[in-house]
Amino acid sequence: MKFIHTADWQLGKIRDGAPVDEFIDFRFKTTEKIRDYANEENVDFVIIAGDLFDHTQKKLVSRINRKVPSFDGQEFLTKSIGILNSFKCKVFILPANHDFYTEHCLWNQEIWRNNIGNNVVVFNEKEKSYKAEEFKTIFFPCPFFENQPRRDLTKWIPSISEEEKGYFRIAIAHGSISDYGSRDIPSAPIDIDDLLKKDLDYIALGDQHGLKTGKTQDFDQNAPLPTKSNRIWYPGTPEQCKISEINTGNILEVTLEKPSDEPKVKIIPVNNLHWFREAIDLNPYVIEGNMEFSYDSNLIQNIFSKIEKYNSELDPKKCILEIAVKEIEVPEDISLNENKLINEIKSLEKILNEKFFHVNLVGPKSKDFQIINIIKLIENSLPYEINKIIKEKESFDHKEIFDKEVEELDYSKFEIEEIKIEIQKLIQRSFAEEN
């Protein structure tokens, strides 16, 4: 038996500052690559172990509409359905923390119910196994019915019974096993030791965006799982979501010869986008005397060479770069004009974004660059209506606005609080200077 294990497609994911439509479309292209591979290899089925979509339908559409008012949620869902229907095999989907199952979730949208093919199965029942006689397989899915269940959803999975002998047993779950038993309970912690005692032939996990398995594998892993078992895998997301993620862009082809045999796992790269974190020094490009910059072809070529060292055949229009700008040396007799510096950084970003899919310049931890980054954060992350209020300096309760909007960003709670404080300081300072 041969199948594909994948997870965390995050369809509908957007990245602040990047072209929204194109960023969404790249993820669709990646899912089409997965479909093409599955169809060409004649796999028996595909497992999507959670987070097929980036959000529940209502939140997903409203979030994208703030960036692109013309975004059509029905069209998006129709395209998603079309790709799933075009798999020649069964596709088993686990609702998870991003797209958990509720009465009003996207899985219950009329367009989904009326158009999804018979080849697609969404696991939407609590603690219930699913027997697929055509594959001689029993699935033990652990779907989400809330965003953060704070308990181990795999505990119900039973050990093998007499009547199950001769069947493959596959668990499908979503969550973190590295945090199991910690004082701060994560969302859906998984007890790996308990799972491995239950005579499961394969444990298909989702949630960790980087490829992970036991310690015995010969590929580079960030914090391998605390086991030597080859039966438990995270495939990672097939299309990277943010710069800090590693070992992304893959799916797993799994072969099981007969029950209780060790699985044979093949890693298949499928990603379209490539992410890089690099650093540049702008000091050689400073025009002495007025702290302006002169960008020439050498600077652009310097940045191109940084990604060519990874792969000389990469298409720049499929590359996302986060570039750290080294500290700019300001002579003591020069008064740095913050607005001019901000405009220069924006100008360089604009030039680079014409060459690459998306470039984000990040300054050093200095006062001036903190201001630049906060202003960029406001402009890139908040909807047009909020920016308009800020620019017009009309009366508004900024705390209420930022409580609502900043929490939509992809940061930790601690980072969110810091961002809110810095934005509020920036606006208060701006008001004070103008008044």
User: What CATH number does residue 58 fall under?
Assistant: 3.60.21.10
Is 172 within 8 Å of 195 (Cβ atoms)? Answer: no
What is the value of pTM for the model shown? 0.80
Q: Which two tokens stand for residue 271?
A: 């990603």
Range of the domain at 43: 2-269
Phi, psi at 218, each rounded to 5°: -95, 10
Taking the chain (435 residues) in consecutive chunks of 10 residues, what is each chunk's mean pLDDT? 97 82 92 97 97 80 72 85 97 93 85 94 96 96 90 93 93 81 66 91 94 71 74 94 87 95 94 86 68 68 74 82 74 61 75 86 56 51 46 44 48 54 56 46
Is 151 within 8 Å of 188 (Cβ atoms)? Answer: yes
pLDDT of residue 363: 63
**Rounded-to-integer distance, Cα 390 and Cα 384, Å:** 10
Tally of domains within the chain: 2
Is 12 within 8 Å of 22 (Cβ atoms)? Answer: no
**Rounded-to-integer distance, Cα 215 and Cα 228, Å:** 5
Whether 76 and 187 share a structural domain: yes
Whether 55 and 14 share a structural domain: yes
Whether 27 and 70 share a structural domain: yes
pLDDT of residue 293: 66
The domain boundary residue, chosen from 269, 304, 329: 269
The domain boundary residue, chosen from 234, 250, 269: 269
Whether 214 and 132 share a structural domain: yes
Whether 51 and 167 share a structural domain: yes
The domain boundary residue, chosen from 205, 236, 269: 269
Whether 15 and 155 share a structural domain: yes
Pick from 173, 235, 224, 220: which is nearest to 198 by CA? 173
pLDDT of residue 398: 45
pLDDT of residue 243: 82
Whether 104 and 121 share a structural domain: yes
Q: Tell me the Ramachandran region of residue 249: left when phi exceeds 0, alpha when psi lies from -120 to 50, beta otherwise.
A: left
Whether 283 and 385 share a structural domain: yes
Tally the residues of the chain.
Answer: 435
Is 5 within 8 Å of 57 (Cβ atoms)? Answer: no
Is 17 within 8 Å of 59 (Cβ atoms)? Answer: no
Whether 265 and 290 share a structural domain: no
Q: What is the DSSP string of 388-406?
A: HHHHHT----HHHHHHHHH
Whether 305 and 244 share a structural domain: no
pLDDT of residue 384: 44
Pick from 144, 198, 203: which is nearest to 172 by CA? 203
pLDDT of residue 331: 64
Q: Which two tokens stand for residue 401?
A: 């606005």
Whether 162 and 242 share a structural domain: yes
pLDDT of residue 83: 97
pLDDT of residue 136: 96
Whether 340 and 219 share a structural domain: no
Q: Tell me the Ramachandran region of residue 179: left when phi exceeds 0, alpha when psi lies from -120 to 50, beta otherwise.
A: alpha
**Rounded-to-integer distance, Cα 399 and Cα 421, Å:** 9
Pick from 294, 287, 305, 399: which is nearest to 355 by CA? 305
> Residue 145: which H helix or E strand, with range?
none
Q: Which two tokens stand for residue 370?
A: 């903190």
